[in-house]
Structure 1
Amino acid sequence: MSESDRKALAADISAASRLRGTFTLRSGQVSDQYFDKYRFEADPALLARLAAAMAPLVPAEAQVLAGLELGGVPIATAISLHTGLRAAFVRKQAKTYGTCLAVEGGAVAGLKVAMIEDVISTGGAVVDAARLLREAGAEIVAVVCAIWRGAGEPAIPGLDVPVRAAFRMAELP
């Protein structure tokens, strides 16, 4: 993706999803900006462009893309369509009916998994999902997100894998 295409994508994601006001984030932090990821995930052309930008961030050794409930699921699916890698879907908790699984879409035991997330501020949801993936036998090789809201370089305390972001918040006009 060229630098001009990347800047255009950043501008389009921001225009589609950035809301201003007072918002409490999942982490409990209060922010004057919120990225409504469903607004860019629901736009097929924008989602396809984002998947193309995120695909090169997936480590070559990854065998499965694990989309985190709920916002990571459409992104993982779009990257899967772009790359041909299998997708799996990580619930916030195991179902209490049917298969009673927390990780859906086929077994991940013994496989190298790239976790796919939408917007990360502190990574709390990612840490929770990583635990479920590891309990299912997956080896997590990276976290790939659309937008990194956190301070500094992308990294999640307690999760010793690289975090790769398509965009940092400061890059979104």
Structure 2
Amino acid sequence: MSKPEIESEIETQKQELIAALKACGAVRYGDFTLASGKKSKYYIDIKKASTDPKTLKLIARQAAFRIKQMDVNIVAGVELGGVPLATAVSMEADLPLLIVRKAVKGYGTKSRFVGDIKPEDRLVMLEDVTTSGGSVRDAIEVVRETGANVKYVITVVDREEGARENLNETGTELVPLVSAGDLLK
């Protein structure tokens, strides 16, 4: 596909995803406190989307389409919200899955990771919603401690509140499937 064809396909996909997110009830209005501590008049509940098979398949197809343009060999997700997304995308892109735990478990392997990771690996991380990018940035640091590199973060929805800039500081590119500005139009 040529660059204009890719851009046209991405715009079509964006409109499909916006419709699917609204249809499954993932966009809610009211008074909410976000994980970042910020207050918001809207909430994007991607757990609603990731538990709806049609919407999850759509997200997986769209993320896999973006991954074809990237030089990566592993799809990663942070527990809990990133796991179903990364699992679906891993299957769609036919790439190995890595799950990043938020903390070391006190039993079993006591590893922060489920799956294999090597220093030469190039990862794309899946996020449900990004606001400041703080939680995924922590996971990126843990992955980089192994010598592996996180080059991209694909987020279903970017709230456009600093995540792109914060991730750029780490040398990681944020790739939103949809921005809040698009979703709330």
Calculate the TM-score normalised by the size of structure 1.
0.91
Counterpart of 2:66 in structure 1 is 57
SS of the aligned residue for 1:170 comes to helix
Greater RCO, CA 8 A, separation 6+: 1
Hey, which bits of structure 1, 4+ residues long, moved more than 4 A?
Answer: 1-5
Letter of the structure 2 residue corresponding to residue 18 of structure 1: V
Comparing 102-111 with 87-96, greater Cα deviation is found at: 102-111
State the one-letter code of the partner of 2:63: M
Task: Report the more deviating stretch, 8-17 or 97-106.
Answer: 8-17
Worse-matched range after superposition: 52-61 or 108-117: 52-61
Alignment RMSD: 1.9
SS state of the match for residue 166, structure 2? Answer: coil
Q: Aligned ranges for residues 15-164 of structure 1 at < 5 Å?
A: 15=23, 16-58=25-67, 59-151=69-161, 154-157=164-167, 158-164=169-175
Q: CA deviation at 1:84?
A: 0.3
Between Structure 1 and Structure 2, how many residues are aligned? 173
Q: Is the 8 A contact 2:99 2:115 kept in 1?
A: yes
C-alpha distance after superposition, 1:129-170 (max 9, x if no partner):
011111222111111111000237833254221110000011
8 Å CA contact retained: 2:133, 2:163? no
Identity %: 32
Gaps (5+ residues) in structure 1? Answer: none
Gapped runs of 5+ residues in structure 2?
A: 1-8
Confirm whether residue 165 of structure 1 aligns to residue 176 of structure 2.
yes
Q: Distance in 2 between matches of 1:2 and 1:94?
A: 37
Deviation at 1:8, TM superposition (A): 2.8
